[in-house]
Amino acid sequence: MIRNIAIIGLGTMGPGMAARLARGGLQVVAYDFAPAAIERARLVLGVAETVLDALGIAPPPAGVGTVRFTDDIGDAVSGADLVIENVPENISVKAEVYRTIDGLIGSDTIVASDTSGIPITKLQAHISHPERMVGMHWSNPPHIIPMIEVIGGEKTAPQTVATIRDLIRSIGLLPVVVKKDVPGFVENRVLYALLREAVDLVERGVIDPEDLDTCVSWGIGYKIAVIGPMALLDMAGLDIYKSVSSFLNADLSNRDDVAPMVLEKTNASKLGIKSGEGMFSYTPEQTKALQGERARKLVAVRRILEGRE
């Protein structure tokens, strides 16, 4: 049974993951080598806990778990039943983490990666006992989005996948088992297909960015939040899909590189909210307001989808 969890690397996802696991009654030790990252994580943890309260997510009968921060990786993984690696999307960086913890944990300690799309099979090459490595891909913000992908690599034991699936389910979240270890898994493959077409339409001048967002959020996004793509096919009719896709698929963007518009902006350090400008421009005040507004809306939508409003 998994009771003690180590999170390696805090970043954007770590504090929310820690908060949600602790709310599920688990004991969490969160590690980062950077003191600034730990201090930021302490603040974000408090915000995440407030959001969990707003969602009405109560701890199990045994009570809420704990979150402890440390800058000592050995301290973090000591006694852990599960280690969740949450460092940047770079195989070399992740491999260094695996090499570091390999001699500090037991051979049966499960090691999960929160990678957004690096195949688990590639990561398994850098750790002993690869049968205990699994993908555990949370969606951002992790304390609000209840779906978590579970991905086994070529050498992952079926029991490892089952253990993580059951852990996720036991704390009231929604595990989705990805049956094949494809790059990007499922959520990001679908998301990036949508983003590729969205960027292409804006870049070609078909639509302005603001109208593109309105079209997606209040059109397909509104529907897909309630009716998933496979169910949507049945609702619309497979005959309609066959007819439209017979001519539309050939006209959709199929580029396999990065769009010039995105390259131009990233080369100019226009990275989005983090730099104050990306597809849109943001003042510090707007950034702060957006974060709170989007969290409130996600909480409200989730409560409705769960039938609690």
The tokens describing 189, both together, are: 């493959």
For 187-305, CATH number out of 3.40.50.720, 1.10.620.20, 1.10.645.10, 1.10.1040.10 equals 1.10.1040.10
Q: What is the pLDDT of residue 17?
A: 98
Q: What is the reported pTM? A: 0.95
For residue 207, report the phi and psi dihedrals to the nearest 5 degrees: -155, 150
Q: Distances in Å between the alpha carbon of 77 and those of 93, 97, 100, 106, 292?
A: 18, 11, 11, 10, 33
Q: What is the pLDDT of residue 291?
A: 87
Q: What is the pLDDT of residue 46?
A: 96
Domain with CATH 1.10.1040.10 in the chain: 187-305
**Cross-strand bridge partners of residue 281:** 277
Residue 306 CB contacts under 8 Å (≥ 6 apart), including other chains: none
What does the alpha-carbon distance between residue 60 and residue 172 come to, in Å, rounded to a whole number?
Answer: 10
What does the alpha-carbon distance between residue 249 and residue 302 come to, in Å, rounded to a whole number?
Answer: 32
Each residue's pLDDT tens digit, 203-258: 999 999 999 999 999 999 999 999 999 999 999 999 999 999 999 999 999 999 99
Q: Region 176-195: what's the mean pLDDT?
A: 98
- Is residue 5 classed as helix, strand or coil in its secondary structure? strand
Q: What is the pLDDT of residue 114?
A: 98
CB atoms within 10 A of CB 249: 9
What does the alpha-carbon distance between residue 81 and residue 27 come to, in Å, rounded to a whole number?
Answer: 10
For residue 175, report the phi and psi dihedrals to the nearest 5 degrees: -80, 140
Q: What is the pLDDT of residue 308?
A: 82
Question: Does the CA dihedral 284-290-295-296 come out positive or negative?
Answer: positive
What is the Cα 7 distance to its own chain's centre? Answer: 14
Each residue's pLDDT tens digit, 37-50: 999 999 999 999 99
Q: What is the pLDDT of residue 129?
A: 97
Structural fold of domain 4-178: Rossmann fold (3.40.50)
Write the DSSP assignment of 99-152 as a string of letters.
HHHHTTS-TT-EEEE--SSS-HHHHHTTSSSGGGEEEEEE-SSTTT--EEEEEE
Domain with CATH 3.40.50.720 in the chain: 4-178
What does the alpha-carbon distance between residue 31 and residue 71 come to, in Å, rounded to a whole number?
Answer: 6
Residue 244 CB contacts under 8 Å (≥ 6 apart), including other chains: none
- Is residue 286 classed as helix, strand or coil in its secondary structure? helix
For residue 205, report the phi and psi dihedrals to the nearest 5 degrees: 75, 15
Instruction: Quote the mean pLDDT of the chain.
Output: 97
Q: Region 20-26: what's the mean pLDDT?
A: 98
What does the alpha-carbon distance between residue 85 and residue 124 come to, in Å, rounded to a whole number?
Answer: 13
Each residue's pLDDT tens digit, 126-172: 999 999 999 999 999 999 999 999 999 999 999 999 999 999 999 99
Flag whether pLDDT at 309 surpasses 70: no
Flag whether pLDDT at 191 surpasses 90: yes
